[in-house]
């Protein structure tokens, strides 16, 4: 593919537009609030999951942890096969359809009696979303030069935020006007229809990406047993990474600070609902604030990075995240929560897009095993979410206070900052 081609970059970014509706509607906004409301009663928030009684929010966080653990286990080998066979786009399609169809299956979730269906479908949707990221991210070094990666990565995330907010607003407009549309179940039916729209949106807009991204750009011609050869491909990259101290140190840093970032993203609505007793409408407003501000944040820190370097930008954002954790511990009302959401949005977009671009720059320019390299980045991402969401739920379970879980996240950011300071991340000046 032609590097820095605007049409190809837009097509690549459209997958962010397509799949980010899952991240917003399913993991951050409508589904967590709907799940909490239909599985809780005035007397209890304990649900029966295959005969085991467990707090609904704890079950949900454990389900997320399990999904990322599964992806972390299978991705490395699949990425090796994708590199060896030159079929990154095929694997991206498989995970996309798995995730989208699982989102649509959530339409069948009507109450606590269906909690098993809800958790299994949400796990499969999470696997589809997370599993596809490694193959999507692996196209980044194939469409942009090192000096353009920050801006291209930020553009992808920004398209994702815009597309997901657009669909969320459409769904909210339908849900809030359920009576005018002839629905009398307080919007429950239309809420479940929103899960259908996520799947359809994801499938539909992904076709733009699939049309323009070229597969097998290095002309790989697989021979023999592709699974065995895929394993060899992965092993080759693993041995190379062991000799690259800058990549190892950056991945350690990313592991710890991403534990905090992703846990906040996945469980912020749960915190607002349980600790501040915020209504669903106010939680949705919070999510909208975060995602709209994140659009500006992604480009702001890409600009700062072009002037001061990726390492400086990432250190700045981690310090802000530490402040956010301590601030959340002392939040007492909705206005504090909104203010904190604004700050979260500003650094959420920036830290995600720059982390991806920074790793892309650290990959040796002469390699063609981009999926295998990015599999280590994405496995680090998955494991950080596993430990983050699990520890969040575990600390709540043993202490009985969600605020203690939030405070523990600050420690993850501090450790990540220490490793980042140790990392050798070269400054690549962007060309005008």
Q: What are the residue boundaries of the structural domains of the chain, listed by start?
A: 6-422
Mind listing the pLDDT tens digit for each residue in 312-323?
999 999 999 998
d(CA 324, CA 339) in angstroms, rounded, equals 10
108: pLDDT strictly greater than 90: yes
Distances (CA, A) of 374 to 136, 237, 356, 413, 416: 9, 10, 9, 22, 19
| Per-residue model confidence (pLDDT) at position 172 | 87
Digit-coded pLDDT (tens) for 6-37: 999 999 999 999 999 998 888 877 888 888 88
Specify whether domain 6-422 bears CATH 1.20.1250.20. Answer: yes
| Per-residue pLDDT tens digits for 264-276 | 776 666 667 666 7
pLDDT tens-digit map of 247-270: 889 999 999 999 888 877 766 666
Residue 3 has phi, psi (to 5 degrees) of: -70, 145
* Whole-number pLDDT of residue 229: 67
pLDDT digits (tens, 9 = 90+) for 196-215: 999 999 999 999 999 998 87
Instruction: Give the per-residue pLDDT at 187.
Output: 59
pLDDT for 422: 92
Per residue in 153-179, pLDDT tens?
889 988 998 999 999 999 988 888 877
pTM attached to this predicted model? 0.81
- What was the pLDDT predicted at 369? 65
- The answer, yes or no, to whether residue 385 has pLDDT greater than 60, is yes
Residue 430 CA to residue 432 CA, distance in Å, equals 6
In this structure, what token pair is assigned to residue 168?
């969320």
The pLDDT score that the predictor gives to residue 233 is 67
């Amino acid at each position: 593919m032609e590097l820095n081609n605007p049409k190809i970059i837009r097509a690549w970014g459209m997958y962010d537009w397509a799949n980010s509706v899952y991240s917003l509607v399913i993991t951050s906004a409508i589904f967590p609030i709907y799940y909490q409301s239909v599985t809780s009663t005035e007397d209890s928030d304990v649900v029966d999951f295959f005969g085991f009684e467990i707090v609904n929010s704890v079950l949900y966080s454990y389900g997320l942890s399990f999904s990322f653990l599964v992806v972390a286990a299978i991705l490395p080998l699949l990425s090796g096969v994708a590199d060896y066979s030159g079929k990154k786009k095929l694997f991206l399609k498989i995970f996309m359809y798995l995730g989208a169809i699982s989102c649509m299956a959530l339409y069948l979730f009507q109450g606590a009696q269906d909690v098993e269906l809800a958790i299994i479908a949400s796990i499969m949707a999470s696997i589809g979303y997370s599993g596809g990221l490694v193959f999507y991210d692996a196209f980044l070094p194939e469409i942009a030069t090192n000096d353009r990666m920050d801006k291209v990565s930020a553009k992808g995330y920004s398209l994702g935020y815009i597309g997901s907010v657009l669909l969320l607003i459409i769904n909210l407009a339908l849900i809030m006007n359920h009576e005018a549309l002839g629905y009398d179940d307080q919007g429950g039916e239309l809420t479940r229809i929103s899960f259908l729209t996520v799947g359809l949106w994801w499938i539909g807009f992904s076709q733009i990406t699939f049309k323009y991204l070229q597969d097998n750009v290095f002309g790989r011609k697989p021979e023999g047993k592709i699974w065995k050869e895929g394993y060899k491909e992965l092993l080759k990259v693993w041995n190379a990474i062991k000799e690259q101290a800058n990549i190892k140190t950056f991945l350690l840093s990313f592991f710890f600070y991403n534990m905090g970032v992703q846990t906040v993203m996945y469980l912020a609505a749960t915190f607002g609902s349980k600790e501040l007793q915020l209504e669903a409408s106010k939680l949705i407003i919070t999510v909208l604030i975060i995602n709209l501000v994140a659009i500006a944040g992604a480009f702001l820190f890409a600009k700062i990075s072009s002037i001061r370097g990726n390492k400086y930008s990432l250190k700045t954002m981690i310090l802000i995240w530490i402040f956010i954790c301590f601030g959340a511990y002392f939040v007492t009302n909705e206005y504090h929560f909104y203010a904190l959401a604004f700050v979260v949005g500003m650094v959420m977009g920036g830290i995600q897009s720059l982390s991806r671009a920074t790793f892309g720059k650290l990959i040796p320019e002469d390699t063609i095993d981009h999926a295998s390299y990015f599999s280590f980045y994405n496995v680090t991402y998955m494991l950080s979410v596993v430990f983050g969401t699990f520890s969040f739920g575990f600390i709540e379970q043993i202490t009985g206070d969600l605020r203690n879980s939030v405070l523990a996240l600050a420690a993850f950011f501090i450790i990540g900052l220490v490793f980042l300071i140790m990392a050798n991340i070269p400054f690549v000046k962007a060309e005008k």
